[in-house]
Amino acid sequence: MRMQGKIGLVTAAASGMGRAGALLFAREGASVGVVDRDAAGVAAVVEQIRAAGGKAHGVVADLATDAGAREAVSATVAAFGGLDFAWNHLGHPGPARVEGLSQSDFDLAVDLNLRSVIITTEMAIPAMRARGGGAFVFTGSTASLVGSPYSPVYSAMKHAVVGFAKALALRLAPENIRANVVCPGPIDTPMLPVFGNRPDQPGRGEDMSEAKLAERRKVVPLLRFGQPEEVAAAALFLLSDDASFITGVALPVDGGITAK
């Protein structure tokens, strides 16, 4: 098992890609901190891991706050005695518009997509250092690599995540701590309709009917949406020792969208 004996955490782990990652890492032998503000979702994931013989600890925290972001790390370290890896998966689509952008909408997008990432990383570095090294994976997006006309603020934040990871990769390399980014394209999760149904999105805001979903699939060179487990598998690779010579990389998991 590729994560045997390792301790890690996954943020936004109650559903979608984060949930898939927590389950996969536990199956691969890791002790996993399952972090989300959704208490029922956290409990369900923890129970599923334990029922399969894995080790998990639930952390209910609001990562929009600095206290919640710090709790995600400190509670995991307290539960298992250390930290070897973190998948900082939290993301928020934010406002579609730039004109008329409210301060509160902007602040929430920054807090969830960037500030929480930096605060949890701040807490995790000493814990990894104490274990002689470790690995971060951050969730970016295809909007980390190319511009998104429908989500400019989100795209800005996710570009920043890639820049942060690359800087960390250089800064922490002497301490055997790696940092990489996984960049999903359209993935079949509860978040997918949110991007298409925002009323302030120019030319969008339509119901995500099966016909509309079919149109979206045609944009993907592989002609389908990705599955959460496919993104989790990429994160597992980047966090595992199989990727021990890989740091500072932003890996698209997008069915070929950014190859265009």
> Per-residue pLDDT tens for 201-258?
544 444 556 777 788 899 999 999 999 999 999 999 999 999 999 999 999 999 999 9
SS3 152: helix
Distance CA 197, CA 188 (A): 15
What is the model's pLDDT at position 216?
A: 84
Residue 33 confidence (pLDDT) above 60 = yes
Express each pLDDT in 79-107 by its tens digit. Answer: 999 999 999 999 998 888 898 889 999 99
What is the model's pLDDT at position 60?
A: 98
Sign of the CA dihedral 113, 119, 122, 127? Answer: negative
Q: Which residue has the higher pLDDT, 247 or 194?
A: 247
Quote the tokens at residue 182.
């996984």
| Domain presence at residue 169 | yes
Q: How confident is the model at residue 32 (pLDDT cuts 50, 70, 90)?
A: very high
pTM of the model: 0.94
What is the model's pLDDT at position 50?
A: 98
| Domain presence at residue 1 | no
| Domain presence at residue 207 | no
Contacts within 8 Å (CB) and 24+ apart, 167-173: 168/121, 168/136, 169/247, 169/248, 170/248, 172/125, 173/247
Express each pLDDT in 135-189 by its tens digit. Answer: 999 999 999 999 988 889 999 999 999 999 999 999 999 999 999 999 999 999 8
What is the model's pLDDT at position 203?
A: 45
Number of structural domains found in the chain? 1
CATH value at residue 35: 3.40.50.720
Which one of the listed residues 80, 85, 138, 154 is annotated catalytic?
Answer: 154
Residue 193 confidence (pLDDT) above 70 = no
What is the model's pLDDT at position 215?
A: 83
Residue 127 confidence (pLDDT) above 70 = yes
Residue 181, judged by CB atoms within 10 A of its CB (0-12, 13-18, 19+), counts as buried
Quote the tokens at residue 247.
């740091």
Residues in Cβ contact with 119 at an 8 Å cutoff, skipping those fewer than 6 apart:
66, 69, 70
What is the model's pLDDT at position 175?
A: 98
| Domain presence at residue 197 | no
Q: Are residues 173 and 246 in contact, defined by beta-carbon separation less than 8 angstroms? A: no
> In which domain, by residue range, is 116 found?
7-190+227-259
| Domain presence at residue 62 | yes
| Domain presence at residue 212 | no
Quote the tokens at residue 103.
């301060």
**Is-catalytic flag, 150?**
no
| Domain presence at residue 200 | no
| Domain presence at residue 211 | no
